[in-house]
Amino acid sequence: MAEILSALRSLMASHSPPLHALVVPSEDYHQSEYVSDRDKRREFVSGFTGSAGLALITKDEARLWTDGRYFLQAMQQLSDQWQLMRIGEDPSVDSWISDNLPREAAIGVDPWCVSVDTAQRWERAFAKNHQKLIQTSSNLVDEVWKNQPPAETNPVIVHPLEFAGRSVAEKLKDLREKLAIEKACGIIITALDEVAWLYNIRGSDVSYCPVVHAFAIVTLNSAFLYVDKRKVSSKVSSSIQENGIEVREYSTVSSDVALLASNQLDKDTGLSSGQNGVCESGTCEAEEKNNDLIWVDPASCCYALFSKLDAKKMLQQQSPLALAKALKNPVELDGLRNAHIRDGAAVVQYLVWLDKQMQEIYGASGYFLEGKGRSKKRSETMKLTEVTASDKLEGFRATKEHFRGLSFPTISSVGPNAAVIHYSPQPETCAELDPDSIYLFDSGAQYLDGTTDITRTVHFGKPSEHEKACYTSVLKGHIALGNARFPNGTNGHALDILARIPLWRYGLDYRHGTGHGIGSYLNVHEGPHLISFRPQARNVPLQASMIVTDEPGYYEDGTFGIRLENVLVIKEADTEFNFGDKGYLSFEHITWAPYQIKLIDLSLLTPEEIEWLNTYHSKCREILAPSMDKNELDWLKKATEPVSA
């Protein structure tokens, strides 16, 4: 790590102008949360493997900013050459730079790896001390990364209409109508999941995310896909071109954005796709004279492309595809429901297997009974670790129809490791399963008809009264949010408190948001909506046909962690009244797996909560039974027996 920092500082010193600091973001050219191995530059320089964070290297310091999900992990992974900066507790990176670096300091960043929003916020902060944000002409980290993995060249796949639910032609027509309303002549689409969703394509360029490294530009007349052409077979190319989309090389997006800015891009192509848009029989030219804005989403468009545009002819607002993608169509909703049934079956099969293994290998009392583990002698070959257990869970999922892989690295965590919110077990260092400790597993899969994400927390021995009280508080918050009814126009910031109130009662809380959107065979974390205490949760109201998770938790550093997570569909609520004619919304659970009764202090549940639990468990039995063999079904029946206070 010391050599990497030294090499970077040498490049910073020889840069023109010399750089006082270098910012290394986590993101790739598309501002992705999860990036390919080649784009893990922040991980390479810092050793910190979390999905969110930012590294700052100065002449004599190295600091890493990350959020509350990763505080513990960063403390474990950062060497003594790095200082952890806790987002929300310590000064932000732009404030720190402004206050600690000299006047007129030059701060370098690769403009492809930073969003417009972020770069402009930094520039405003730097201005008060006449500091400058310098766009480096190359990525300095790439220059010192000797064994940087090559760019992915995985094939582009057409996502069939039977799963997508809407054709590319329909999506382009809707998009062009939005462009016309906003007086825009074109839009630059940089977010990978938006490109994939719009053009009904998928790929495997990023682990766990079925996306393709690609940009898109859509104008009133034309549509372009910028991708490494080696990934596009002739069959796929024909399918894409049938929708009026021209395939161009990935690297030409930069010059084409410049052409778009000078109104030359449509003239540069013979392609016209009026049949897919709002322009018919010569009306395009009339439209174009009035529509001269170029739409960019400042949260996802990189600064490099933005810098080629004329600020006076730019529409900077959220991409219209973000909301369109989040509002699932009926085919996508059915697919997600079906995917979660198969996924729930895999999770139950895993619990049945794990329960048996814990009893046989470790003498645990098991899923249903309370008692200390009888320290059984076992051979090294029989032991269960966080990784071997999660591999088994993946194996159960892999048997299910339409399975295409995991949707994120499984968080399989025992005891103290469960307190690390986004813990990622590694084969060499992971813990062995322990019958006397809590076990938390947060996992999900990619199926052709939907993406899944579920968390359950279990104990195969005798949980303490404190662990039970904490688990029950988390469950109460989970139930409260899932049962909420709320008027149209309500955002996720307003609902976040519902999941925390039972924890707050004891002076407990958790450092992450409570819910995120999920893609339809796309990214497991999808916006623009979320349920969170963070201010951005106020940006978008929750709407019918959105998908959102319900995942409160509690984490006791060095001891245990608890999280419960289901996926919910937002639907119209059938309320007795309709105050203000707003219309009301509610949630539908589509995740099916039992909550462990042994971890619940039933005396803390209200009669309504007990009724909800029994009803949910009854549905689990009914929905999952057809996927179970006799042994699994017997276990499931026992796990979902009705309870009373």
- CA 553, CA 516: separation in Å to the nearest integer? 14
| pLDDT for res 455 | 98
Q: How confident is the model at residue 371 (pLDDT cuts 50, 70, 90)?
A: confident
Residues 126 and 223 in one domain: no
Task: Give buried/exposed letters for 406-422 (b at 16+ CB in 10 A, else e).
Answer: bbbbbbbbbbbbbbbbb
pLDDT tens-digit readout, 593-606: 999 999 999 999 99
On whether the CB atoms of residues 71 and 35 are closer than 8 A, the answer is: no
The answer to whether residue 279 is domain-embedded is no
| pLDDT for res 278 | 45
Q: ∠ at Cα 300 (294, 305), nearest 5°?
A: 55
Q: How many residues does the chain have?
A: 645
How does DSSP classify residue 512? S
pLDDT tens-digit readout, 538-575: 999 999 999 999 999 999 999 999 999 999 999 999 99
Token digits for 309? 């545009």
Question: Structure pTM?
Answer: 0.94
**Side chain identity at 571, as an amino acid letter?**
K
**Side chain identity at 469, as an amino acid letter?**
A
Residues 296 and 395 in one domain: no
Residues 194 and 308 in one domain: yes
Residues 117 and 204 in one domain: no
- CA 11, CA 519: separation in Å to the nearest integer? 40
pLDDT tens-digit readout, 313-362: 999 999 999 999 999 999 999 999 999 999 999 999 999 999 999 999 99
- CA 16, CA 13: separation in Å to the nearest integer? 8
The answer to whether residue 44 is domain-embedded is yes
**What is the DSSP track for 172-206?**
HHHHHHHHHHTTEEEEEE--HHHHHHHHTEE--SB
Contacts of 159 (CB under 8 A, 6+ apart): 196, 200, 201, 202, 521
Residue among 606, 571, 604 at smallest CA distance from 589: 571
Contacts of 43 (CB under 8 A, 6+ apart): 26, 49
- CA 29, CA 305: separation in Å to the nearest integer? 10
- CA 461, CA 413: separation in Å to the nearest integer? 16
Ramachandran area for residue 165 (φ above 0: left; ψ -120 to 50: alpha; else beta): left
| pLDDT for res 373 | 64
On whether the CB atoms of residues 329 and 318 are closer than 8 A, the answer is: no
Residues 127 and 184 in one domain: no
The answer to whether residue 550 is domain-embedded is yes
Mean pLDDT of the chain: 94
Q: What is the largest CA-CA distance in the chain?
A: 82
Q: How confident is the model at residue 382 (pLDDT cuts 50, 70, 90)?
A: confident
pLDDT at position 234 over 50: yes
CB atoms within 10 A of CB 372: 12
What is the pLDDT averaged over residues 217-234? 97
- CA 211, CA 519: separation in Å to the nearest integer? 11
What's 634's domain CATH number?
3.90.230.10
pLDDT tens-digit readout, 166-185: 999 999 999 999 999 999 99
The answer to whether residue 304 is domain-embedded is yes
Residues 336 and 409 in one domain: yes
On whether the CB atoms of residues 108 and 23 are closer than 8 A, the answer is: yes
What's 13's domain CATH number?
3.40.350.10
| pLDDT for res 276 | 45
- CA 3, CA 9: separation in Å to the nearest integer? 10
The answer to whether residue 282 is domain-embedded is no
pLDDT tens-digit readout, 264-293: 998 655 444 444 444 543 445 544 557 889
**Side chain identity at 467, as an amino acid letter?**
E
The answer to whether residue 548 is domain-embedded is yes
The answer to whether residue 199 is domain-embedded is yes
Q: How confident is the model at residue 376 (pLDDT cuts 50, 70, 90)?
A: low
Residues 478 and 342 in one domain: yes
Residues 119 and 162 in one domain: no
Residues 106 and 210 in one domain: no
| pLDDT for res 380 | 64
Residues of the chain with pLDDT > 90, as a percent, come to 92
On whether the CB atoms of residues 531 and 495 are closer than 8 A, the answer is: yes
pLDDT tens-digit readout, 462-483: 999 999 999 999 999 999 999 9
pLDDT tens-digit readout, 480-536: 999 999 999 999 999 999 999 999 999 999 999 999 999 999 999 999 999 999 999
On whether the CB atoms of residues 40 and 55 are closer than 8 A, the answer is: no
Residues 555 and 626 in one domain: yes
CA 230 vs CA 38, 138, 156, 247, 488: distances in Å? 18, 24, 9, 11, 46
How many domains does the chain fold into?
3
On whether the CB atoms of residues 70 and 47 are closer than 8 A, the answer is: no
Task: Find tokens 């009854």 and name the residue.
Answer: 618
Residue span of the structural domain in which 476 resides? 330-368+383-639
**What is the DSSP track for 618-642?**
HHHHHHHGGG--HHHHHHHHHHT--
| pLDDT for res 181 | 96
pLDDT tens-digit readout, 397-444: 999 999 999 999 999 999 999 999 989 899 999 999 999 999 999 999
Residues 359 and 454 in one domain: yes
The answer to whether residue 644 is domain-embedded is no
Token digits for 608? 């309504």
Residues 231 and 93 in one domain: no
Exposure on the CB side of residue 640, measured as CA atoms within 13 A: 23
